[in-house]
Amino acid sequence: MSGPDGTRRGAGDERPGREAPTGAYAGRRRRRRGRGEQPMVPDASFSSYYGRPVLNKPTWKALDIAGYLYLGGLAGASSLLAAGGQLTGRPGLAAPAKLGAAGAISLSLAALVHDLGRPARFLNMLRVFKPTSPMSVGSWILVGYAPLTVAAAATEVAGRYRLVGSAATVAAAVLGPAVATYTAVLLSDTAVPSWHEGYRRLPFVFAGSAATAASGLALVAAPTAQAGPARRMALLGAALELGAFQLMKRGMGLPAEPFDQGRPRVLLRASEALTVAGAGLALLSGRRRDRRVAMAAGAALLTGSAALRFGVFHAGVASAEDPRYTVVPQRERLTRRAG
Amino acid sequence: MSDGREVHGNQWYGPQPNVAGAAGYPDAPPRMGFFTDTSVCIGCKACEVACKEWNAVPEDGLELTGMSYDNTQGLGADTWRHVAFVEQRKPFGGQEPGVRHEDTDVFAAAARLGTDAASPGPGATAPPPGHAPEGAPAGRISPLSPDGRTELRWLMASDVCKHCTHAACLDVCPTGALFRTEFGTVVVQEDVCNGCGYCVPACPYGVIDQREDDGRVWKCTLCYDRLGAGMEPACAKACPTDSIQFGPLDELRERARGRVAQLHAAGVTDARLYGEDPRDGVGGDGAFFLLLDEPEVYGLPPDPVVTTRDLPDMWRHAALAAATLVGLAVGGFVGRSRRA
């Protein structure tokens, strides 16, 4: 292990050891785990402080925050299906969508409060309104949105106050898309390379993922005869999610790499497969009018959307833990500016 | 990449000469900050200790990293000053380190210990002449061979919160716990923070962090309590070489430029300032540095940008995406047959 200088040279040990290099590009080259894939950007050497991260990694718990990204999307897009189902006379579609939205957003709120370091102080979120803080904006959106979904679901279950319920359903559908897409800004408005650099496409990825999740829930719970809009939304959502994700990765340079490594890679590949399969089964369930196919499609879509959120979450954390994703793009930027 | 276009200064980006004024202080005192001149840092860690003592920052584990004399590792909730140790195979350059003693025969001087007037008198720990300790080579001490180690240099640097002109931590804080003081510094109100953790990944320097058993976030306050009483921060007070200098930012910037010119004239061409430029990605740091190598060698980001610069664009894209989602739903309901 120890060379003549006491320098560590362990196999796979990326730390420069005790003998730190000099200058901007004196670091050792990293070996890329090749599986015949073309690297999106050329290998770049870089310096770091003993390989330690530049950033402090997010302290958010994956189950709470990635779970919230998922449930928020599910709720927001479900509100659209609920309003659509109600306006077009599809009560079998509207009812599960209303219940799904209320349930998902209630779980979301619980997850968000649970993730706080001081959960008892959750009301401090409403102390100020700050447009510069996506979390502040999101808190206020949720304060408006969550009661609407609960009112819509409660009147649906009770079968009374139909007018109030309809108004709440429509109002929730107005806020729902904001709930589903602002979470992309929540992630992007950080210094985490793999979250920030994709900020132009990530809202579209999340919008697509929300659509597949909500239509998945509807396919599981709604009668096949009324699930037509959910089937079509599943196809459109899957196309948006997969397309926007590819565009995002192509546009972000080196910080796209964590999406294709380790756990995020497994999650995102699984998400792709499940979303494609779910969309295909959704199409089939429309042709065959088979409830079991629809339920399989719904389960695949719901799981695929969740896997996407967890994959994106973990990729960001991985990009914050490796100084390479912070230093190399910044160094390239400086070189470009100088040259 | 987010730099493909010209970014014009907005409220959250670009130079801001009156930070406290923009934050709502009509008659603010001059902006205060740190100039950390790493060329005179001796790595004594007095700043780390003084900071912990004054601010009652809890102990956070005594861990030996094995990588260098740096066992603190980095800034975080319980480390508000961090001394980095970088060992490099690189000559000093034209710098005169003042460690050469060709003219002095230290071994001859050692052999004279206790025998002449210039050597320690009674009470000295050196053995009296002629009474060498057992096992010691008789009569003389053999000099160590230089072993090629003349090409080695140590870089030491005391890192701290940068108190950015455009502070991402402050921008994204949803509770208003983080605020801008009248001195232009950035401070967490611990009675307000609910530990949402948003500031942690927002900071482009990896400064602020969540204290595990406490749940809230903590970072350097630039000793807000001491500033209010007209005192300098504890780390600057404790620094024995004035590597950490405290004062009005304008003065510090001028002094730093002079110091760089002095070092360049002395042949230390590596000397450069980091974080002093108001046109950089965070509008300039309230705590800036004189470094002797690239920033990333010290664990600092080479070109940090406040994430909020892109926030208006992010909101625009999110709004478009929300509209697209509505479009998908509408497409689902109007597509093909009404009865499907």
Q: Closest by alpha carbon to A195, among B307, B325, B200?
A: B307
pLDDT above 90: percentage of residues in chain B: 69
H or E stretch covering B328: helix B311-334
Question: If you search the block for the tokens 């504890």, which residue do you land on?
Answer: B234
Contact by Cβ (8 Å): B293, A48: no
Quick one: average pLDDT of B32-58?
Answer: 97
Exposed e or buried b per residue across A26-39, where buried means at least 16 C-beta atoms within 10 angstroms of its C-beta: bbeeeeeeeeeeee
What is the pLDDT averaged over residues A143-160? 97
The pair of structure tokens assigned to B322 is: 């929300």
Interface of A with B in 209-228 (CB under 8 A): 210-211, 215, 228
- For the four alpha carbons of A100, A102, A107 and A109, in that order, the dihedral sign comes to positive
Residue keyed to tokens 């001028």: B254
Cα–Cα distance for residue pair B286/B185, rounded to 1 Å: 7
Chain A residues within an 8 Å CB radius of B155: 20
Rounded to a whole number of angstroms, the distance from the CA of A319 to the nearest CA of chain B is 11
The sign of the dihedral angle between the CA atoms of B165, B168, B172, B178 is negative
In angstroms, the Cα distances linking B82 to B159, B160, B220 are: 5, 7, 11
Nearest CA in chain B to A214: B329
pLDDT of residue A24: 56
Greatest Cα pair distance, chain A, in angstroms, is 82
Residue A75 has pLDDT above 60, yes or no: yes
A53 contact residues in B (CB cutoff 8 A): 74, 206
Report the residue of chain B nearest A83, measured CA to CA: B329
Q: Are B175 and B310 in contact (CB under 8 A)?
A: no
Q: Which residues contact B225 (CB under 8 A, 6 or more apart)?
A: none
Mean pLDDT across chain A, nearest whole number? 90
User: Which of A49, A127, A177 lies nearest to residue B297, judging by beta carbons?
Assistant: A49
Predicted confidence (pLDDT) at residue B168 exceeds the cutoff of 70: yes
Cα dihedral sign, B298-B304-B308-B311: negative
Q: Which two tokens stand for residue A142?
A: 């949720």
Window A:272-331, CB contacts with B under 8 Å = 286, 316, 320, 323, 326-327, 329-331
Amino acid sitting at position A261: Q
Q: Does B310 touch chain A (CB under 8 A)?
A: yes
| In the predicted structure, residue A17 carries a pLDDT above the cut 50 | no
Chain B nearest C-alpha distance from A329 (Å): 8
d(CA A106, CA A64) in angstroms, rounded, equals: 13
- Give chain A as a 3 state SS string: CECCCCCECCCCCCCCCCECCCCCCCCCCCCCCCCCCCCCCCCCCCCCCCCCCCCCCCCCCHHHHHHHHHHHHHHHHHHHHHHHHHHCCCHHHHHHHHHHHHHHHHHHHHHHHHHCCCHHHHHHHHCCCCCCCHHHHHHHHHHHHHHHHHHHHHHHHHCCCHHHHHHHHHHHHHHHHHHHHHHHHHHHCCCCHHHHCCCCCHHHHHHHHHHHHHHHHHHHHCCHHHCHHHHHHHHHHHHHHHHHHHHHHHHCCHHHHHHHCHHHHHHHHHHHHHHHHHHHHHHHHHHHCCHHHHHHHHHHHHHHHHHHHHHHHHHHHHHHHCHHHHHHHHHHHHHHHHC
Asked whether residue A313 carries a pLDDT value surpassing 70, the answer given is yes
- Please check the confidence at residue A42 and state whether its pLDDT lies above 60: no
CA B50 – CA B34 distance, rounded (Å): 15
With cut-offs at 50, 70 and 90, classify the pLDDT of residue B105: confident
Tokens of residue B306, six digits: 């406040």
- Alpha-carbon distance A174 to nearest alpha carbon in chain B (angstroms): 9
Q: What is the pLDDT of residues B191-245, one digit of tens each?
A: 999 999 999 999 999 999 999 999 999 999 999 999 999 999 999 999 999 999 9
Average pLDDT over residues B10-16: 82
Whether B144 shows a pLDDT value over 50: the answer reads no
Query: How many CA atoms does the CB half-sphere of B87 hold within 13 Å?
Result: 13
Kindly give the pairing relationship between strand B217-218 and strand B244-248: unpaired
Q: Is the pLDDT of residue A33 over 60?
A: no
Quickly count: other Cβ atoms within 10 Å of residue A154's Cβ: 17
Q: Quick check: A333 contacting B, CB < 8 Å?
A: yes
Classify residue A174 as left (phi > 0), alpha (psi -120 to 50) or beta: alpha
Q: Are B108 and B119 in contact (CB under 8 A)?
A: no
Residues in chain A closer than 8 A to B206 (CB atoms): 53-56
A56 contacts B76? CB cut-off 8 A:
yes
Is the model's pLDDT at B132 over the cut of 60? no
Cβ-based contacts of A52 with chain B (< 8 Å):
73-74, 299
- CB within 8 Å: B298 and A232: no
User: Is B301's CB within 8 Å of A326's CB?
Assistant: yes
pLDDT at B100: 58
Rounded to a whole number, what is the distance in Å from the CA of A65 to chain B's nearest CA? Answer: 11
Partners of B336 on chain A (C-beta within 8 Å) are: 228, 232
Could you tell me the CA-to-CA distances from B39 to A156, A311, B84, B95, B267 in Å, in that order? 71, 44, 13, 11, 13
Q: Residue B75 above 90 pLDDT? A: yes
Please report the domains of chain A, with CATH numbers, ordered by start residue. Answer: 62-322 (1.20.1630.10)
Q: What is the pLDDT of residue B66?
A: 87
pLDDT tens figures, A157-212 = 999 999 999 999 999 999 999 999 999 999 999 999 999 999 999 999 999 999 99
Chain A, 180 to 209: residues with Cβ < 8 Å from chain B are: 180-182, 184-185, 188-192, 195-197, 199-201, 203-204, 206-208
pLDDT at A256 over 50: yes
Which of A113, A133, A182, A285 to mutate against chain B (most B CBs within 10 Å)?
Answer: A133
What is the distance of C-alpha B141 from the center of its chain? 42
**Quick one: how far is CA B289 from the chain centroid?**
7
Indicate the residue of B3, B194, B206 with minimum beta-carbon distance to A54: B206
ipTM of this model?
0.89
Nearest residue of A to residue B177, measured between CA atoms: A124
Contact A255, A190 (CB under 8 A): no
> Taking a C-beta distance cutoff of 8 angstroms, is the pair B244, B47 a contact?
yes
Which region, left, alpha or beta, applies to residue B323 given φ > 0 means left and ψ of -120 to 50 means alpha?
Answer: alpha
Residue B280 has pLDDT above 60, yes or no: yes
Distance CA A243, CA A239 (A): 6
Which residues of chain A lie closer than 8 angstroms to B315, CB-CB? Answer: 185
The pLDDT of residue B333 is above 60: yes
Q: What is the CA radius of gyration of chain B?
A: 27
First to last CA, chain B: 44
Give the residue-averaged pLDDT of B79-103: 72
> CB A189 to CB B307 under 8 A?
yes
A contacts of B154 (beta carbons < 8 Å): none
Which tens digit of pLDDT belongs to each residue from A90-126?
999 999 999 999 999 999 999 999 999 999 999 999 9
Q: Is B276 on the interface with A (CB under 8 A)?
A: no
- Check A56 against B315: CB less than 8 A apart: no
Q: Which of residues 212-251 of B touch A (CB under 8 A)?
A: 214-217
> Minimal CA–CA distance to A77: which of A262, A239, A217, A265?
A217
How far apart, in Å, are the Cα atoms of A77 and each of A296, B50, B152? 20, 54, 62
Check B196 against A116: CB less than 8 A apart.
yes
Q: Measuring CA to CA, how many Å separate A160 from each of A99, A152, A155, A192, B190?
A: 15, 11, 6, 48, 47
> Any bridge partners for residue B156, and if so which?
B85
pLDDT digit string, tens, across residues A276-296? 999 999 999 999 888 999 999
Secondary structure class of B180 (helix, strand, coil): strand
Q: Would you give the distance in Å from CA B105 to the centre of its chain?
A: 40
Q: Measured between alpha carbons, how far is B59 from A61 in angstroms, rounded to an integer?
A: 24
Residues in chain A closer than 8 A to B321 (CB atoms): 181, 184, 203-204, 206-207
pLDDT attached to residue A339: 79
**Distance of alpha carbon B183 from alpha carbon B325, whole angstroms:** 45
Q: Point out the residue among A133, A184, A196 whose CB comes nearest to the CB of B172.
A: A133
Nearest to A22 among B88, B307, B337 (CB): B88
Sequence-distant (≥ 6) Cβ neighbours of residue A168 within 8 angstroms: A148, A149, A151, A152, A155
Q: What is the pLDDT of residue B151?
A: 64
- CB atoms under 10 Å from CB of B118, counted, come to 8
CB contact under 8 A, B326 and A237: no
pLDDT value for A187: 98
Pairing of strands B178-180, B152-160: unpaired
- Res A3 pLDDT > 50: no
Q: Average pLDDT over chain B, rounded to whole? A: 85
What are the distances in angstroms from CA A174 to CA A72, A84, A324, B37?
14, 12, 41, 55
